[in-house]
Amino acid sequence: MKVCIHRGTQEIGGTCIEIESAGQRIVLDVGLPLNADRDVDARSFLPDVKGFANPDDSLLAALISHPHQDHFGLAQFLPPQIPVIIGEAAHNILRSATFFTPSGADFKRTIYLQDQETIEIGPFEITPYLVDHSAYDAYSILISANGKRLFYSGDFRAHGRKAKLFQNMINNPPKDIDVLLMEGTTIGRGNPEDKFQTEDELIPEFVEYFDSTQGLCLAWCSGQNIDRLVTIYKACKAVNRQFIIDLYTAEILRATGNPSLPQGHWKDIRVFLPKSQKYQVIEQKLFDISNQYRNNRIYPENLSREASNSVMLFRPSMSKDLEAIGCLDGASLTYSIWEGYLEMDQQKPFLDWLESNQILMKKIHTSGHASISDLKDFSNALNPKKLIPIHSFETDQFPDFFKNVELKEDGKWWEVE
Ligand SMILES: [Zn+2]
């Protein structure tokens, strides 16, 4: 078995790993680089893999570990006959997203992953392990071929709503791993000793902030961070406020196929259509989608009246709508995505907007990725012959924390020994 990490040995995002055995190949993740210039045709970031630009029979499949842009974002440019291996809920989420944002995907040929059920493709045996991550339906992947075993961690953590999966993995790890490709997103961010808050530990923080707010509570969070939506929903219940989500988020929650997750038709949830989504519904004739939530819709003219008993899922793209509606008296904002995002220049106008509307902001967040101490437990349990760092800006620091580390370079082939 031979491996080439096309992107990921020095960076977070744009992950793409090609694996070859007996002249046949599969690819793990086809991600969009985080620093990709949006004015440049994204297709130009496709790694140099035989079969990506033009079909090639030796490329058997592309596997997507989870539905985050930096892992699937370039897969839409592959020839449609290449099978895409992905979780079914993950694919449904990406498909639902295509109606509302350019960052969805709808693959023509799919093979669905199921937790710990092995798929055979050519010389490869592929066994997925469902993991705890801020993306729904995320997997680590064990690949066996020609007597060698490679384990790809994908993105994962141990403090989310599926933390039990991490414990199961540590207690009963796959054996005889020759190579572990392990993510290290949090390395170099903060103190190595940091313990991360669990999702449940965030609930009282939300509760306190919602309780101290007179008007509308805005909650800025990704509509695809299902764990966090559950956290916010639980806090809403605790303070007796309804949870207002937008149509896009309602559809993402429905796409999970998991009826125990909050849904747009539940009685304490309301569905709001910002203008942009209203236009999308009209233009694309998505009335079947919007009509599902007919009984739970909340309209602009009612927002002011209901502000003080509501928490609204929010993104900066909605700020103009809400200002025009005039429902922001006494409003507050909780910020629940990666902290670094707020420091980017492009967020300056939004911060100014908050100030001009006198909206106070509080960060309430925990990482979608494992802490260093959890990464240590993970790598010790899997006990690989070699640990190859991936998905980190600080791969040079891996030898400080883990055993048997070997650094690789993007674009270079190496043999699994
Ligand atoms: Zn991810």
Domain ranges of the chain: 2-190+368-415, 199-363
Q: For residue 129, which of 119, 139, 118 has the smallest C-alpha distance? A: 139
CA of 412 to the centre of ligand 1 (A): 24
The Å distance, Cα 183 to ligand 1 centre, comes to 10
Residue 227 Cα to ligand 1 midpoint, Å, equals 13
pLDDT tens-digit map of 8-47 = 999 999 999 999 999 999 999 999 998 888 888 889 999 9
Which pLDDT score is estimated for 139?
Answer: 98
Instruction: State residue 339's pLDDT score.
Output: 84
Instruction: Give the whole-angstrom CA distance, residue 412 versus residue 402.
Output: 23
CA distance 408 to 289: 47
What per-residue confidence (pLDDT) applies to 103? 83
Secondary element (H or E) of residue 304: helix 300-306
- The residue ranges of the chain whose pLDDT is under 70 are none
Ligand 1 centroid distance, CA of 4 (Å)? 20
Tens of pLDDT, residues 135-171: 999 999 999 999 999 999 999 999 999 999 999 999 9
Class of domain 199-363: alpha beta
- Tell me, what amino acid is at 373? S
Q: Which of 11, 27, 322, 390 is nearest to 179 (CA)?
A: 390
The CA distances from residue 237 to 26, 232, 240, 243, 392, in Å, are 46, 9, 5, 9, 37
- In 3D space, the residue among 104, 406, 141, 62 whose CA is nearest the CA of residue 255 turns out to be 104
| Burial track 299-331 (b if 16+ CB lie within 10 A, e otherwise) | ebeebeebbeebbbbbbeebbebbeebebbeeb
- What pLDDT sits at residue 351? 95
- Give the angle subtended at the CA of 325 by the CAs of 319 and 327, to the nearest 5°: 80
Ligand 1 centroid to Cα of residue 133, in Å, is: 7
Pairing of strands 217-220, 148-152: unpaired
Ligand 1 centre distance from Cα of residue 240 (Å): 32
Distance 27 CA to ligand 1 centre (A): 17
Distance 86 CA to ligand 1 centre (A): 14
- Side by side, the strands of the sheet bearing 217-220 are 269-272, 242-246, 310-314, 217-220, 332-335, 360-363
Whole-Å CA distances, 319 to 102, 212, 308, 347: 20, 22, 18, 13
State how far the alpha carbon of 76 is from the alpha carbons of 48, 103, 105, in Å: 15, 10, 6
In DSSP notation, 117-156 reads --EEETTEEEEEEEE--SSSSEEEEEEEETTEEEEE--S-
2-190+368-415 folds as Metallo-beta-lactamase; Chain A (3.60.15)
Would you say 78 and 100 are in contact if contact means Cβ atoms under 8 Å apart?
Answer: no
Is residue 319 within 8 Å of 348, Cβ to Cβ?
A: no
DSSP H helical ranges for 357-397? 372-382
| Per-residue burial over 73-105, b = 16 or more CB atoms within 10 Å of its CB, e = otherwise | bbbbebeeebbbbbbebbbbbbebbebbeebbb
Measured in Å, residue 68 CA sits from the centre of ligand 1 at: 5
Contact 304, 326 (CB under 8 A): yes
Neighbours of 240 (CB within 10 A): 10
Q: Ligand 1 centroid vs 159 CA: distance in angstroms?
A: 15
**Which of 412, 415, 416 shows the shortest CA–CA distance to 8?**
412
What is the whole-number distance in angstroms between the Cα of residue 324 and the centre of ligand 1?
Answer: 35
Q: How far apart are CA 18 and CA 377, in angstroms?
A: 27
Cα torsion 290, 296, 301, 304: sign = negative
3-class DSSP assignment, residue 220: strand
* Distance from the alpha carbon of residue 368 to the mean position of ligand 1, in angstroms: 7
